Amino acid sequence: MTTAVPTRPAPTAPVPNPPADRPPRDERRAGALLTAPFLVIYLLFLVGPLLVGVALSFFNTTTVKSGLGDWVGWSNYSEVVTDAQFWQAMWHSVLFTLLTTPPLVVLALAAAVLASRVRRGRVLYRVAFFAPYVVPSSVVALIFLWMYTPEIGLLPKVFGAVGLPVPDFIGSTSGGWTAVTLMTLWWTFGFNFVLYTAALQDIPPDVHEAASIDGAGPWQQIRLITVPLLGRTTSLVLILQILASLKVFDQIYLLLGGGPDQSTRPVIEYIYDTGFTSYRGGYGAAATLVYFVIIVAISAAWYGLRRRTAAGSAARAEDS
């Protein structure tokens, strides 16, 4: 073993202490033993469900009794792809993403930029904006359901006082979307706010000093310096928000139950219904995988895009 002669330099490697030499036995053993507990659970309970899902999607498994059922080939998939209800649910998840992502990103950016110009009271902002995020979704739903109560709830009163028409928050589709969007905004806003605030702290203060010496007003500084410098953070916040919004379940299930008449039901609730109301495990697994592939494709596209822009800007830096 090479470890027995540590003083003699290896003939092939001119660098002293080459990392490529064979590590001692106890190091290899310690590495394997320390990784094992995590790795076993990871493979069983993170990779496992994915493999189980792939397997089930080719069988007509039911969720009421154990056992796989019969092999049905690709028919679950062809049924999912042609199922109007699945695509409706998919559209509801996308609609929710379209409704929540712009305000959650833009408002968080605005609030973080404005808050960064204030010297005192930072703790108040942090606590006020982030506190809702640590509250369970069902508690948020209870509070908002009470605030949405027709006639006596707080929000109908506020809408009325401002002169806006009061939507039927729980009973109608458009009112339901308003209700879910407002609640999600309140609940998860703090997360994006915190990401932006952290990024703002990394911008060196001399950039702003230089700009103000050059005569740039505060609004110009924000528009031309701060927001462009936050570009990478915005791209991160955006993708995290899109992925999180596409996975929506709690808010819509709790507040509206996917209703009225399934007109707001998101994909996860559709899968939940097929698996636990219609007991069609195999079919639900196929739907899960179609949805899963869409989500993975979106995040992979984002990673690719980000790598390409990073490479592009590096190339540009080399050119200049």
Partner 1 sequence: MSTITRPRSAAPKAVPAVDGAKLFDRLCAVCVTLFALIWLVPFAWALATSLRSDGSITENPTSLFAGGWSLHAYSYAWDNHPIGTWYLNSLVISALAVLFTVGFGSMAGFALAFLRYRGRAVVLALVAAGLMLPSEALVLPQFIEYRSFHLLGTFWALVLPSVAAPISVFVFQAFFRGIPRALIEAARIDGASWWRVYARICMPISRPALSTVAILTFISTWNSFLWPLLVLNQTTSQTIPVGLASLVSNSNIQYAEVMASSVLGFLPLIAVFLVFQRQIVQGVATTGIK
Q: Residues 200 to 219: which contact partner 1 by CB under 8 A?
A: 212-215, 217-219
- Indicate which single residue of 108, 178, 189, 230 sits in contact with partner 1 (rule: CB under 8 A): 189
160 binds partner 1 (CB under 8 A): no
Q: How far is the CB of 82 from partner 1 (least distance, A)?
A: 20
Q: Look at residue 125 and give its three-state secondary structure.
A: helix
How far is residue 190 CA from its own chain's centroid? 14
Q: How far apart are CA 227 and CA 213, in angstroms?
A: 19
- Indicate which single residue of 276, 278, 307, 312 sits in contact with partner 1 (rule: CB under 8 A): 276
Q: What part of residues 31-50 is at the interface with partner 1 (CB under 8 A)? A: 31-32, 34-35, 37-39, 41-42, 44-50
162 binds partner 1 (CB under 8 A): no
Q: How far apart are CA 269 and CA 83, in angstroms?
A: 15
10 binds partner 1 (CB under 8 A): no
CA dihedral 230, 233, 234, 239 (to 10 degrees): 170
Cβ count near 29 (within 10 Å): 10
194 binds partner 1 (CB under 8 A): yes
87 binds partner 1 (CB under 8 A): no
Q: How far apart are CA 204 and CA 210, in angstroms?
A: 11
Q: What part of residues 53-72 is at the interface with partner 1 (CB under 8 A)? A: 53, 56, 61, 63, 66
252 binds partner 1 (CB under 8 A): no
What H or E segment, with its residue span, contains residue 75?
helix 75-82
Q: How far is the CB of 249 from partner 1 (least distance, A)?
A: 5
Q: How far apart are CA 133 and CA 188, in angstroms?
A: 5
Q: How far is the CB of 8 from partner 1 (least distance, A)?
A: 19
97 binds partner 1 (CB under 8 A): no
75, HSE (Cβ side, Cα atoms, 13 Å):
7
Q: How far apart are CA 43 and CA 52, in angstroms?
A: 12
Q: What part of residues 221-240 is at the interface with partner 1 (CB under 8 A)? A: 236, 240
Residue 58 · residue 73 · CB < 8 Å: yes
Q: What part of residues 100-159 is at the interface with partner 1 (CB under 8 A)? A: 111, 114-115, 117-118, 121, 123-132, 134-139, 141-147, 149, 151-154, 157
